[in-house]
Structure formats: C-alpha cells, structure tokens
Amino acid sequence: MALNLGTIQHILDVAFVADGAIFQGAVVTLSSPSSDNNARVIVAASSSVTPLGVALVDAADGEVVRVQMLGLAYVVASGPFSAGDNLAIAAASGKVDTASSADQLVGVALEAATALNDLVVCKLYCNGSVEP
C-alpha cells in the first residue's frame, strides 16, 4: 500500500554529472575525479560503498543528474522488505534491500516493498549510518 505523502519536498538535492547511465531511484555514490573538475556520480554497486544519495531522474552518461541527499526519497527495491527495515544497497546495482549489520545504510523504509522494482519511500540517512 502506497503512502499518501503527496509531493515529496526535496530538502537537499545537488546537481552532479552522471558517470554512466543512472536510473531514477538509484542509490548513487561519488565516482573517480574527472579531468573537467565536475563532480561525478555512479550507480552504487555494493553495500560496502558509502551512499551519496538517490537519483531524482534518469540520466545518460555525461548528463546532469540531480541527487537527493537528505529527507524522503523514492528508492527501487531489489525484492521484498518491510516498513521500518534499515535499507542498504543490494547486489542488484543501485537498488535497495534489508541491511545487515556490516552494510553502509541508505535509510529506513517508510513502506513495504512486495516485489523486485517496487518504488518505495525511504527516509535517507546521511553518510551511510543512522543519524544521531
């Protein structure tokens, strides 16, 4: 059941350059520095990298992509999980699943996911850990 949140207000979103294709709702992380001095992001590929935020739109390689870094965001599920679960980057690149104790955290699920590719609301954590 989807939450009735209306339009989610983006508290902190920042423009980056996509380093490869990025899909809306993907968890992203910083990429290697580029020669043009633009901050670049890539789709986060494992739960051991520190998540930067969530892509607000699809972007092709080299395009500008806005990344939400704080507040509520829609994320893409890699499978079922419950509301209240801490989420981490899943083996399926950029998607989220229930976190284990060793994972860098993306946030907490505010609604359940029932299947692969469900778009669900997540309260983002900063810097891969629960906020104090």
Q: How confident is the model at residue 39, as a pLDDT? A: 87
Q: How confident is the model at residue 1, as a pLDDT? A: 45
pLDDT, tens digit (0-9, with 9 covering 90-100), for 37-51:
778 999 998 888 889
Q: Are strands 12-18 and 40-43 parallel, antiparallel or unpaired?
A: parallel
Q: Is 105 helix (H, G, I), strand (E, B) or coil?
A: strand
pLDDT, tens digit (0-9, with 9 covering 90-100), for 11-25:
788 899 999 999 999
The pTM for the full model equals 0.87
